[in-house]
Structure formats: C-alpha cells, structure tokens
Structure 1
Amino acid sequence: MSSFGGSGVELRTGVVEEMNMSNGRGANGAEKSSEPPLKESLDQCMEALDLFLNNHFSESLERLRPRVNDSMYHALIYATVLEMQAMMTFQHDDITNAGNTMKGAQEVCQRYRRKTKSEGDSLSEVQLHAEVCYAECQLQRAALTFLQDENMVSFIKGGMKVRNSYMIYKELHAFVKSHNYVKGPSHLQLEGGIAFGIGAFNLTLSLFPPRILRLLEFAGFSGDKEYGLSLLHDGATGTNLRSMLCALLLLCYYTFLTFILGTGEAEVAEAERLLKPFQHRYPRGAIFLFFAGRTEEIKGNIDEAVALFEDGCKAQQAWKQFHHMCYWELMWCFTYKRAWRMAYFYADLLSQESRWSKAMYMYMKAAYLSMLPRDEARPFGEDEVDLFRQVPRFKQRIAGKSPPTEKFAIRKARRYKASCPVRLPVPVLEMMYMWNGFSMISKRPELTEGMLQTLMDAERSLLESPGNATCGLDSPQY
C-alpha cells in the first residue's frame, strides 16, 4: 500500500485502467480530459528535445507550443526550456513568464491526476505520469520562486512546494519498487522521471551542513549522496526525456560544485564518461561543448579549454546567454595564463550583457585593471579605483540572501571608498583562491610558476611602500 499526501489510495495499474483510459475515463471510471496518446506525446517531446540539444532552440519551442494546453509532457518540456532561459538571462520579465508558464503546465498535469481519493483506487499509466510531471512542475516553480522573490513569505511558499514535490517523488519511488507496480509501455520514461527527482533531492540535500541535514532528515527528507548519484547515473544513461536533466545535474556537480567545495580532484573522469555519448550524439551542442571545455580546464589543459569555449560560442547565436557561461570560463582561463587584458575583456562583456552578478563582474574588471603596470593604458579609459567604488551599487539577493562571492567582493572594494584608498595587492588571485582556481593550474608547472612570480612582485611592491596607499589614480607596478 502506498498513498499520496496520506490519502490511503492504493497505487495499482492494470488492464481495466487502460480500457477506461481508452474510453476517455479514468481508472475509477470518472470522466477525464482528453490526453493525447502517451507514446505519441513522449516521441514528439523527444524530437523537440533533440532539436534543443542541437542548438535549434526556436524550432524546439515551435514544435512543442501547439500542444502545451492538452499534453502534460509538451507543457512540462516547453516550460522547462523557458525556465532554463530565464535562469540564464536573470531578467525579471523572463522569470515571471517562465513561472506563469510552469504554473500553466502544472494545471495541465493536474487535469490528468486522479480525481478521487477512495480506498482501493488504482492509477492508470497516464495518471502515474501525471503525478511525476506534477512533482517536477512543483520543484521547478519553487526554484523560480527563490530566484524571483526576496521576502520570507515567498521563501516559505517555495519551501512548501519543495516538500510537496519531494513527498510525491518519494511515494512514487516506493510504488514502482513494490509488487503492486505493473510496468506500462512507457515505464522507462516514468522511472527516469522518478530517478531524476529522488536523485536530485538526495544529492542536493547531502551537500547541506550535517547539522541542517539532520533536521531535514527528521522532517522526512533524505540526503544520501551516493544513492542520489547512483539514481542520477541510471537516469542519465537511459533513453528518456530526463536523461539530459540527470546528465546536466551530474555534470554541474562533478565540474563545479565539487571544485567549489574543494573535493573534486577525482571527479573529472566521471564527467568525461558521462559526456562521451552526448558529445557523440550532439557534436556541436553548445551545452556539451561548454562542459567539455570545463573538463579540459579542470585537467589544466587551458588552451584546449579556450578552444572548446570559443566553439561553444560559435555553435549558436540564438541564445546569447549560453555565451555568458563560456565568457565566465574564458575569463578564468586567461586569468590562469596571466593575460590580464584578455580576462578583463570577458569580465567587461559579462558586465554589459549578463545580469547574474554585476557586482562580481564589476569587481573583476577593476581587479584585472589593478594588475596592469602603472604606466600601461587602461582599456576604454576606465579606472580601477572608480570601478571598485561602484561594486556595492550592484549588490543583489537570491532566495533572500546575498551570494557569498558578492559579499566578499563588496567587503574588499570598501578599501577604495576613502578619498585616499588602500590598494589591494593581488585581488585577482584572492578571488581565484575563493573559486578554488589554484587546483586548475596545479597540473601545469609553468602556470604555477607564473602565479608565484606575480605574488613575489606584489610582495616586493608592498615592502617598498608598506602602506600601499595612494591618492592618485595610478596602479602599483607589477
């Protein structure tokens, strides 16, 4: 026996349910909305997803749009693409539009969920898919709520959506592992959706500090990292709609989160194994070119990484937001090479085009200029002291909190607030340390030696002028 929301409704599938569905009725004989044939919807959505992964973003949306009001999978995938776009643009209008679209998708899913909660009710295959799609909509709406609103009420509402989503995933997962579950024709798609949900929750929650994790587990959540990774790997290596989502989450974990947390030295091989089939299937896919570049960067192959990030930019022009991810990594690649002007160029592009963290972009622009020799002309006539002073103006909040990196940048930039600023000796290297960038150059002795030389030059400059204070606009000589 398993139930959703404590309803006591038994989850069963069988021939009677499929007959009821073909007659336009639910498993309990109730009249249902006319969901298009499940396999047909899934096949069409897979085709649209293929277009998306091959950089045909507009065509993908056009393929989905006609059926977003009658097919739960068309509605979900369409809303998911818009949410990905909104998260990259970070524009308020895009986030609002994605939230409204995802809410509409959730309403479509709701139409195909069971209508009664009587003991002994069974669920058809369509209704099971409606449950997992509904849970995914809830989870994605929660993510948008955290991005969009800063107040505590919205934060609590987002938390409730997360909990509701988790409970549905948890009970679905228990059901498909039970003897009551009869596999339908599209069971691989259903199980892929459940693997994504349970895997994502377990992996994400496992990253919380132990004290908070114990409280969450007491409240019914689970945070088993290895279990979460195992489920996501199963989802990523299958042929289902959620394969891409499982793969992207794993790639983000292996190539970003583990390195930010300082635990990622052995994870790059996993990322490469995961990427290989996607690269073969989508050789010019911008998303996978980006992650291929990131894996080369982690290995210390900076020139190879630069080439892949540049290819990622060339691969498509429809979504400039993909370019911003590449610009950020290119900025760091040129930082590792101590090509301060090139790094500044990408920080400047980000400051003009991306809304994700303008305080960080402004700080990095100023930091790169401060690394240039005193007598070298500044690009576009900009001045680092003036840029440092602008950093606090661009402070923002995500989920009601200021990002730690922005807090760090604003605190450091305060040294330039006074009329006679006290200069930062190597601000770029401080931020590089914060992002665990030194692990990238540790495999390349020439890059490590170059950074050591920069530090030695900065130390000499400090010894020659201990206060390192100046009231002019010139920079220390490095």
Structure 2
Amino acid sequence: MLSLLPQRILRLLEFIGFSGNRRFGLSQLREGASNHSLRSILCAFTLLFYNTYVSLILGTGEGNLAEAEALLEPYQEKYPKGSIILFYSARITSLRGNLEKARARYEECISSQQEWKQIHHLCYWELMWNHSFQQEWQQAYRYADLLCRESRWSKAIYVYQKAAILSMMSAEELERTGEDLGALFRQVEGLKQRLAGKSIPMEKFAVRKSRRYKASNPVPLVIPALEMMYVWNGFSIVGKRADLTESLLVTIEKVEQQLQNDPNPTEYHPDDSCLVQMLKGLCLKYLGRFLQAELCFSEVLSSEGRIRYDHYLVPFTLYELGLLQKQQGDFIKATTYIERAKTNYKDYSMESRLHFRIHAALNSLKGSPVSTP
C-alpha cells in the first residue's frame, strides 16, 4: 500500500525505514492468499480491497477484476450467504458495469444479517451511487438519507451528498421530499470533523462548495452530484456502459446550454462552465469521441485565468488530458500533461487525491513506448 503514495512522501518513509515496492508486496499477498493458512483469508481480502477500492479511488480506476473474482470464488462456494462475500461480489459486479445485478446483490447482503450495521451502511453508500450512475435520483436520495440518519462516519459528506442528489431533481420532485435544499447545504460546515487536528480533505471540499448557499442571494451549484461522482472516480464505472454515459452527456449538455444562455452570469459562471466542460470531456472520452473530448479539456485549460474558486479543475483536467493521450497511444504527451498537473499546481482542493492518481498514472506509463505508434 505504501507504493501508492506520491514519490516525495515515499522518499521520506524510506528514509525512516519503510519501503514501498508494489510488485513485491502484491506478490507476497498473492502467495499468502494461495496458501491454506490463517493468513490466506487476510491476504485474499486485502487484495480484494486493493483491486475493488484502492485502485479505483486512489489510482486510475484499473483494478484487476479478474483476480478479484478468482480470489472471491472459493469463499463464495464455502460461504455463499456471507455478508462480506455478498458485498464484494456486488462490488465486482458493479465495477463491471452490471449495475442491476449488483443492486440485487447489495440488497441480498443487507438482508443477510442484522448485527453489523456498518455493512448495511457500506451497501447504502454503494446503492446510492448505483442509482446515481443511472440518474435515478429519488432512489439515490433514499440511501443518502439513510446514511445521514444512521451512519456517523462523516456527517458533512453525507449531508452534502444528499443535498447534491436533491439538486439534480426537478422542483416538483424536490418539493415531494419535503427537504429544504439550502438548509441542508448550510448545515455542512457545522458538521465538519477534525482528525488529529486536521480537517478531512473531502469534508473541506464539501464545506467550500456549500458556502454558496450562505450568501443572501445563493447561487445554486451546477450538477453537484456529477461532480461528486467524478471525485469518487465513478465515471470509470459509468464509462463501461455507453447507454448510461450517453444519458449523463445529455444531462451535462442541457446544463451547458443553460449556462451559455444565462442572461445574468454570476461570479461563479466561469467555474461552473469549466466543470461542465471537464465532465463533458470525460463522457466523450468514454464514448470514444477523443477529439471532442480533447476540445472540452482544452477549453478548461484556456479558461484557467478566469476561474475564481474551483482551482482544482485545471490540474485535474491536465491529468484527464494525459490519460486521454495515453489511451490514444501518445505516451510522451500523456507524461507531459500529467507532469504539468503534478509540478505546476498546489494548494487546491483534493490535491493529495490527485497526487495519488498521478503517481499511479506515471507508474503505468513507465516502460511504455517513447513515441506515438
């Protein structure tokens, strides 16, 4: 796991005696998982967690799902109704893009036991995203609301996520929920926690975004649920389904049109427009429309000087542009863009999260061809 850390942190840890060799670490875990000992299940589940969560959230979204399925298979045969087994089975199914089947397995996991409510909360989180990927906002809201009421992991993130989902509903749908959207966003800052004297980066992001609603004339956030979907690397899951990606693109283009036709643009207009362009570019990339995707990303970069608040958009867009070039086989350009994101920007929201992804992306580019095919 240490090998996932950005290079500057890894060098410091190596200085005090730790080492980070991912290949060796994974080989040891695989060897442990293949043995029939007390350690085998721990090794297997560490690898499962690595391939289904760590690689997705802190990497480029390219977990080894074939390995995850192979690791889980013997435990599925032995404990077919085990809640953790059902959970990982659902997670792998979801990562493969089969959201309907995954949903049924998460629901089966919830009903399989009542003692470990934390597993229920994990399922609620996944079901919330499962429905969000399909833009089923009423159902997504249901699970976001359950998390707000039952889980104590991060009230700030849960309330912000709930409000973000409500923001995607029509006025009529929102009214039926009985929720006060502005009041929810204004709650977020008061729910922020500190661990060892430090704020949680995702909570800081949620607090900063929700401050729009503290003004006397609040300016609504633009597609905040899709922004959070990107933050959690959910587009890499949606991207496996052309139908869902097209549907997201339609939603994003509607907002793009609204922003373009806005007769009274606010101070947030450049930031909102850049967010829309970045998310639009992602959809186009997953649909294989690479030139159009590059144009969207380039528009964000050309608007850098006009961005007032969401400064994270530029380095994240550079990173995405690098991945786009990698996908097209231009590894030199890919490395250049990703290195620019790494070295030219600092003190922006979710900086550490991006550096984890950059580290994973640059590692994946090592040994790649040095010229465009």
Q: What is the TM-score of this pair, normalised by structure 2?
A: 0.68
CA-CA distance at 1:310 after TM superposition: 0.7
Match status 1:437 vs 2:234: yes
Task: Please provide the CA RMSD for this pair.
Answer: 1.6
1:148-179 CA distance string (max 9 Å, x none): xxxxxxxxxxxxxxxxxxxxxxxxxxxxxxxx
Aligned 1:412-431 pairs, distance under 5 A: 412-431=209-228
CA-CA distance at 1:237 after TM superposition: 2.5
Q: Which of 178, 191, 201 is the equivalent residue of 1:394? A: 191
Are the counterparts in 2 of residues 369 and 383 from structure 1 also a CA contact under 8 Å?
no
Instruction: State how far apart, in whole Å, the 1-side matches of 2:264 and 2:88 are.
Output: 43
Aligned 1:87-106 pairs, distance under 5 A: none
1:167-196 CA distance string (max 9 Å, x none): xxxxxxxxxxxxxxxxxxxxxxxxxxxxxx
- Specify the code of the residue in structure 2 equivalent to 1:316: Q
Instruction: State how far apart, in whole Å, the 2-side matches of 1:376 and 1:464 are.
Output: 25
Q: Which residue of 2 aligns with 1:183?
A: none
Match status 1:361 vs 2:158: yes
Instruction: State how far apart, in whole Å, the 2-side matches of 1:447 and 1:338 are.
Output: 9
1:96-122 CA distance string (max 9 Å, x none): xxxxxxxxxxxxxxxxxxxxxxxxxxx
Moved more, 392-401 or 428-437: 392-401
- Specify the code of the residue in structure 1 equivalent to 2:181: E
Aligned 1:448-459 pairs, distance under 5 A: 448-459=245-256
Q: Which residue of 2 aligns with 1:301?
A: 98
- Specify the code of the residue in structure 1 equivalent to 2:21: D
Q: Which residue of 2 aligns with 1:348?
A: 145
Q: Give 3-state SS (helix, strand or coil) of 2:225's partner.
A: helix
Q: 1:237 to 1:397 in 2, by over 3 A?
A: farther
Q: Which of 155, 161, 168 is the equivalent residue of 1:371? A: 168
CA-CA distance at 1:329 after TM superposition: 0.4
Q: What is the TM-score of this pair, normalised by structure 1?
A: 0.54
Q: Which residue of 2 aligns with 1:111?
A: none
CA-CA distance at 1:411 after TM superposition: 0.9
Instruction: State how far apart, in whole Å, the 1-side matches of 2:149 and 2:156 are.
Output: 12
Q: Which residue of 1 aligns with 2:22?
A: 225
Are the counterparts in 2 of residues 391 and 409 from structure 1 also a CA contact under 8 Å?
yes
Q: Highest CA radius of gyration, 1 or 2?
A: 1
Are the counterparts in 2 of residues 365 and 384 from structure 1 also a CA contact under 8 Å?
no
Q: 1:254 to 1:266 in 2, by over 3 A?
A: closer
Q: Which residue of 2 aligns with 1:80?
A: none
Q: 1:273 to 1:264 in 2, by over 3 A?
A: farther
CA-CA distance at 1:266 after TM superposition: 4.8
Are the counterparts in 2 of residues 262 and 436 from structure 1 also a CA contact under 8 Å?
no
Q: Give 3-state SS (helix, strand or coil) of 1:376's partner.
A: helix
Q: Which of 75, 80, 87 is the equivalent residue of 1:290? A: 87
Q: Give 3-state SS (helix, strand or coil) of 2:31's partner.
A: helix
CA-CA distance at 1:241 after TM superposition: 2.3
Instruction: State how far apart, in whole Å, the 2-side matches of 1:327 and 1:310 are.
Output: 9
Instruction: State how far apart, in whole Å, the 1-side matches of 2:152 and 2:265 are.
Output: 33
Are the counterparts in 1 of residues 61 and 233 from structure 2 also a CA contact under 8 Å?
no
CA-CA distance at 1:466 after TM superposition: 5.2
Identity of aligned residues (%): 56
Q: 1:240 to 1:467 in 2, by over 3 A?
A: farther
Aligned 1:309-328 pairs, distance under 5 A: 309-328=106-125
- Specify the code of the residue in structure 1 equivalent to 2:46: L
CA-CA distance at 1:324 after TM superposition: 0.3
Query: What stretches of structure 1 move > 4 A for 4+ residues in a row?
Result: 466-469
Q: Which residue of 2 aligns with 1:258?
A: 55
Instruction: State how far apart, in whole Å, the 1-side matches of 2:127 and 2:105 are.
Output: 10
Q: Give 3-state SS (helix, strand or coil) of 1:349's partner.
A: helix
Instruction: State how far apart, in whole Å, the 2-side matches of 1:379 and 1:246 are.
Output: 47
Q: 1:398 to 1:236 in 2, by over 3 A?
A: farther
- Where structure 2 has 5 or more consecutive residues not aligned to the other structure, the ranges are 267-373
Instruction: State how far apart, in whole Å, the 1-side matches of 2:190 and 2:43 are.
Output: 37
1:414-447 CA distance string (max 9 Å, x none): 1111121011110001000011100101111110
Instruction: State how far apart, in whole Å, the 2-side matches of 1:209 and 1:241 are.
Output: 32
Q: Which residue of 2 aligns with 1:329?
A: 126
Q: Which residue of 1 aligns with 2:295?
A: none
Q: Which residue of 1 aligns with 2:72?
A: 275
- Specify the code of the residue in structure 1 equivalent to 2:88: F
CA-CA distance at 1:380 after TM superposition: 4.1
Instruction: State how far apart, in whole Å, the 2-side matches of 1:311 and 1:387 are.
Output: 31
Q: Which of 175, 178, 192 is the equivalent residue of 1:381? A: 178
Match status 1:460 vs 2:261: no
Are the counterparts in 2 of residues 358 and 394 from structure 1 also a CA contact under 8 Å?
yes
Q: 1:271 to 1:468 in 2, by over 3 A?
A: farther
1:252-307 CA distance string (max 9 Å, x none): 11111111123332511111111111111110111111111111111111101111
- Where structure 1 has 5 or more consecutive residues not aligned to the other structure, the ranges are 1-203, 470-478
Q: 1:305 to 1:238 in 2, by over 3 A?
A: same
Instruction: State how far apart, in whole Å, the 2-side matches of 1:398 and 1:234 are.
Output: 35
Q: 1:466 to 1:268 in 2, by over 3 A?
A: farther
CA-CA distance at 1:398 after TM superposition: 3.2
Q: 1:439 to 1:327 in 2, by over 3 A?
A: same
Q: 1:264 to 1:346 in 2, by over 3 A?
A: same
Instruction: State how far apart, in whole Å, the 1-side matches of 2:187 and 2:265 are.
Output: 21
Q: 1:381 to 1:236 in 2, by over 3 A?
A: same
- Specify the code of the residue in structure 1 equivalent to 2:226: L
Q: Give 3-state SS (helix, strand or coil) of 1:378's partner.
A: helix
Instruction: State how far apart, in whole Å, the 1-side matches of 2:203 and 2:140 are.
Output: 19
Q: Which residue of 2 aligns with 1:248?
A: 45
Q: 1:454 to 1:468 in 2, by over 3 A?
A: farther
Q: Which residue of 1 aligns with 2:244?
A: 447
